[in-house]
Structure 1
Amino acid sequence: MNKKNLKTRCAFIAGLLGCVAMPAHAEDSNKEETPKGKAIITIFSDIHSGFGHVNDDRGFNLDRAYLGYQYDLSKELQLKVVADFGQSKSVDDHQRIGFVKNAQISWKREKWTLHAGLISTTQFKFQESFWGKRYVMKSFQDEYKFGSSADLAVSAAYDFNDYVSADVILANGEGYKKLQVKDGLQYGAGVTLMPVKNLFIRLYGSYNEASEESGKGITNLASFIGYKHKSFSLAAEYNYQKNASYTDGQDQSGVSAYATVNLSKKVGVFGRWDYLTSKNKWNEENDGMAGLVGAEFRLGKYIKLSPNFRIWSPKAGSMPNSYYAYLNASFSL
């Protein structure tokens, strides 16, 4: 490892220690607070069926199971550990692989929020929260592999006022499924604006250093605008990635638009449209448009059901459209 990378690594470790040290000081000033904890249990599953040439793609599926525990040492200091059990291309489809997704310490005080450890990344967390239907379909950047939802990292966010907040993150860059530490790091920064009530604008950019000399660093840029009302929400986002998979010239981009209408406290309808394209057709077999329409039924506090219909229209003209019917379910404690 050269001197430049050694200095970068030392700075990364110093940042982690700094984030741990500041919460520790905050804890001393709140000794009288009673610690409390809660279990984290979230399960995503579905039954689905394709039609026409994908008629054989049918059956039950356990998409995700999150199991963990959150412990609040004080109003400012929090510890959280979450295990993620999901599908993996490296094993048979009926098997599941377990990973530690979160193992973090968090500190919140006044306008500051700090996270350190194996944490949720900031690349598309805001968009995923606004979309609000991760159990039905991942948000655009997560669905099309523009980045990882968690990583070994340290992040900081600051609320300047009711209208502007900003955040930065320094991450390992490998994602939570590959925690080996190589020479490359990922640097990211974002700003969130709320110019008027219920209207949100989010801008984000990151650079992921290549860990191999032959590779090229990955640049991600994202923009988002959304309006959320108690009765409905509307949103659109544009995403751009340069040098996907650390390969020079493998650029891709895409847009996603989605809307939700709440018919009552227990029933809502929603729709979403995605478009993914790659430069010079390097990823043509995965380029195309996706459409989704459905309804959501909230059965009490913990259970959600969503019957929905989907279409995938490949950009490659030689491939036919694919149609699916799904019934997605979410249990969250």
Structure 2
Amino acid sequence: MKRILNTTILLFLLSSLPSKAQDSTNVYNFDFHKVKPIVQIFGTASYNFDENKYEYSFSRAHIGFQYQFNAKWNAKIILDRGRSTSVGKITVSDSAGNKFNIENTSKEGSYYTMWLKFASLQWKVNDKLTLEGGAILQNHYITMERFWGLRYVAQTFQDLYWHIPSSDLGFIAYYKFNKFFSVDAAITNGEGSRVKQDSFGKVKIAGGIDINPSQKIQTRIFYHNKQSGINNSAAEQLLSAFIGYKPTDKSRIGSEFNYMKNLDNTDGLKSYGFSLYTAYHITRKTELFTRFDRLLYNITENTNGNIMGDGNTLMGGLSFAPVKGVKLSMNYQGWLPDDNVKPQNRILFNMEYKF
């Protein structure tokens, strides 16, 4: 991984050299003018009223590049920071010898380990069909995330509560029938890009439909079926629906509903809910936003307890973009559980910069 990071930094440095120097040393005819650097950083400072606790963290640190071979072929490599090792699925036995499958989502290792998050090769076959393979960007909540437009402030529903990874190992195909209707389908590892294929060869199959009747309205329906790496475990199934509406150039309103059956391949564990969000540009650089989430669970006796429980999330604040590529936000975020146990009320200052 250290070698990959050094290679990425070296490419950034070489891309700034004069073209004559490149021509004299570039034995592989690598065109550095076709390299596009990718840098995106999220930082957060927060104060928790309920716990009287201050925190500062980096939730994202992407560094990488994209290379355009020609009009049809391109490749992308992106590193991210974080505790890249997860415990994952484990099996435990009781005194009678009965086995239970447990999903352990805890992370191990350094908080600032760089790991390969995306490494994909894309082929634009024609104006309608695009194929991509490798460590790819999944197309599950990306439509909602882009419409929400404030990922540096908070994740969208599936990412925030169910922690579905944005990247995975596999293949995805996009087909655009026209400007109103398009579909996509993917077959992936199902474990995220940090985990190799399980010994049972189980995969995740996913598909989505986008219907955009006008420039003001966009909709999406998505489904995935993820088999478990532990034999005889229940298949996780996700169904989501989204509609976004932009009444004017200054405002947008989004709504999504998500239903998860056998969450984390736990038989009978269901979770579902919806998210409503709206944003309005007060000025060209300043945006006012609000959001409301409702999260519910249908808990079984086999549930291992690693869930948030029923509750509501409230968000609201301002997003300010002083220059292109930089965003700052002062906002409130609250988690209000139905049982009123451990509510979370926080004031946050978020930042994003990218180029």
Band of TM-score, shorter chain: 0.7 to 0.9
Aligned counterpart, 1:114: 131
Residues 11-50 of structure 1 mapped to structure 2, 5 A cutoff: 36-50=34-48
Aligned counterpart, 1:298: 321
The residue matched to 2:299 in structure 1 has which SS? helix
Q: CA deviation at 1:231?
A: 0.7
Residues 106 and 304 of structure 1: CA distance in aligned 2, closer, same or farther (over 3 Å): same
Residues 80 and 285 of structure 1: CA distance in aligned 2, closer, same or farther (over 3 Å): closer
Say whether residues 1:61 and 2:19 are aligned partners: no
| Whole-Å separation in 2 of the counterparts to 1:122 and 1:111 | 17
Residues 151 and 115 of structure 1: CA distance in aligned 2, closer, same or farther (over 3 Å): same
* Amino acid aligned to 1:55: N
Q: Which segment is superposed worse, 290-299 or 191-200?
A: 191-200
2:79 to 72, 80, 83: 83
The residue matched to 1:299 in structure 2 has which SS? coil
Unaligned runs of 5+ in 1: 1-32
* Amino acid aligned to 1:46: T
Number of aligned positions between the proteins? 298
Say whether residues 1:260 and 2:279 are aligned partners: yes
Q: Deviations over 1:123-162 (max 9, x none)?
A: 1111111111111101110111252211001111111112
* Amino acid aligned to 1:208: K
Say whether residues 1:240 and 2:259 are aligned partners: yes
Q: CA deviation at 1:55?
A: 1.0
| Whole-Å separation in 1 of the counterparts to 2:198 and 2:284 | 46
Q: CA deviation at 1:286?
A: 3.5
1:308 to 331, 336, 341: 331
1:195 to 195, 200, 213: 213
* Amino acid aligned to 2:320: F
| Whole-Å separation in 1 of the counterparts to 2:308 and 2:291 | 21
* Amino acid aligned to 1:65: A
* Amino acid aligned to 1:295: L
| Whole-Å separation in 1 of the counterparts to 2:176 and 2:189 | 25
| Whole-Å separation in 1 of the counterparts to 2:163 and 2:342 | 25
The residue matched to 2:162 in structure 1 has which SS? coil
| Whole-Å separation in 2 of the counterparts to 1:192 and 1:279 | 29
Instruction: Give the TM-score normalised by the residue count of structure 1.
Output: 0.84
Say whether residues 1:147 and 2:164 are aligned partners: yes
Say whether residues 1:132 and 2:128 are aligned partners: no
| Whole-Å separation in 1 of the counterparts to 2:55 and 2:161 | 23
Unaligned runs of 5+ in 2: 1-30, 85-105
Contact 2:81/2:111 (8 A) holds in 1: no
Instruction: Give the TM-score normalised by the residue count of structure 2.
Output: 0.79
Residues 164-175 of structure 1 mapped to structure 2, 5 A cutoff: 164-175=181-192
Residues 34 and 175 of structure 1: CA distance in aligned 2, closer, same or farther (over 3 Å): closer
| Whole-Å separation in 1 of the counterparts to 2:190 and 2:123 | 23
Q: CA deviation at 1:104?
A: 0.3
- Cα RMSD for the two superposed structures: 2.0
| Whole-Å separation in 2 of the counterparts to 1:173 and 1:322 | 31
* Amino acid aligned to 2:69: L
Q: Which segment is superposed worse, 205-214 or 158-167?
A: 205-214
| Whole-Å separation in 2 of the counterparts to 1:91 and 1:329 | 26
Contact 2:331/2:349 (8 A) holds in 1: yes
1:269 to 275, 278, 288: 288
Q: CA deviation at 1:114?
A: 1.4
Say whether residues 1:98 and 2:143 are aligned partners: no
Q: CA deviation at 1:91?
A: 4.0
| Whole-Å separation in 2 of the counterparts to 1:285 and 1:175 | 22
Aligned counterpart, 2:10: none
Aligned counterpart, 1:8: none
Q: Which segment is superposed worse, 224-233 or 65-74?
A: 224-233
| Whole-Å separation in 2 of the counterparts to 1:125 and 1:73 | 25
* Amino acid aligned to 1:61: S
The residue matched to 2:152 in structure 1 has which SS? coil
Q: CA deviation at 1:87?
A: 5.0
Contact 2:183/2:209 (8 A) holds in 1: yes
Q: CA deviation at 1:110?
A: 0.8
Say whether residues 1:324 and 2:322 are aligned partners: no
Q: Deviations over 1:255-305 (max 9, x none)?
A: 111111012221111111111111037566433111000101102112100
| Whole-Å separation in 2 of the counterparts to 1:84 and 1:180 | 21
Q: CA deviation at 1:60?
A: 1.7
